[in-house]
Amino acid sequence: MPDLGFKVTGLDPATQGMVPLLSFQVEITNTPAGERVHSVMLQAQIQLQVAQRRYSASEKEKLRELFGPPEQWRDTLRARLWTIAAANVPAFTGTTTAALTVPCTFDLNVAATKYFHGLDDGDVPLLFLFSGSVFYEAADGRLQVQPISWKSECAWKMPVSAWHELMDHHYPGIAWLALSRENFERLYAYRRAHHLATWDRALEQLLPEYANTEVPV
């Protein structure tokens, strides 16, 4: 009967794709080593262990929208679900590797994006909680299936730079801003009325006090 162990060994940003993707490399080891596993339907819940790292003053300011003022962080800094990733693992004996691919976004309405964007450097502590089904051959030759143990998990630290570099590659020099339809139409009317070529020019005219100053990011 298979007993699977999991370890995250690395991360590959998919810079060649049409959308930003992070691909986590997972090493899967079966015990007993000589037993053949026919396939694995693997799923992983990936959590942000936000309380397990230190934050600079600038990071604390940028993360106020998520966690409130720093004096409240003792109560608000809790692990948060980032995403759920899945992979189909082909037949193997002993040890194999699988890729868990996570789509990313620069939409700052998404809590995980706000968190990553608010970090300057360092690592993001992640917790992978694995589940799924293992298909294997019993001693009598019949195909069997069993669930992956609910105790299957591993921790890994993701460099913050991996997320920032991925966003810089797919969205060089730009950021996304979501507006209500009403405010979009008002801004669009202002841009047309003043014959402005870009949205940046419209915002520069509406926010003159910030036009030539360095604002906090």
* pLDDT tens per residue across span 19-46: 899 999 999 999 988 888 999 999 999 9
Q: Which residue has the tokens 């405010």?
A: 183
Instruction: Tokens for 54, please give them.
Output: 């230190």
Residue-level pLDDT at 75 = 93
For residues 175-196, give the mean pLDDT.
88
Residues 210-216: contacts with CB under 8 Å, at least 24 apart:
216/58, 216/61
Confidence bin at 211 (pLDDT 50/70/90): low
Residue-level pLDDT at 215 = 47
Report the predicted TM-score, pTM, of the whole model to 2 decimal places: 0.84
Q: Which residue has the tokens 């797919």?
A: 170
Instruction: Fill in the DSSP letter of residue 148.
Output: P
Cα–Cα nearest to 203, from 169, 180, 177, 172: 177
* pLDDT tens per residue across span 44-67: 999 999 999 999 999 999 999 999
Give the type of residue at 30: N
Residue 209 has pLDDT above 80, yes or no: no
